[in-house]
Amino acid sequence: MAVPKKRRSKAKKRTHRSLWKIYSPETMICTQCGELTLLHHACKHCGYYKGKQVLKIKVKKEKENKET
């Protein structure tokens, strides 16, 4: 079994752990609809990328409430 020969100092331990970070994904505002989108990805809301429509987005029809 592998066992360390020497104890890791506090400074070495802390510098090693300093790289353990959680990053949030980079986002930007869509130029067409104003929704937040991921960088270098087509907008999931409107389907535009760099001013051109590259995806066809299906729009669900809302049901009309019938009052009886």
- Label residues 42-65 b or e (16+ Cβ within 10 Å = b): bbeebbbbeeeeeeeeeeeeeeee
pTM of the model: 0.53
For 10-60, the pLDDT digits (tens) are 999 999 998 888 888 899 999 888 999 999 999 998 899 988 889 888 877
Q: What is the pLDDT of residue 41?
A: 92
Identify the residue whose tokens are 């066809």: 56
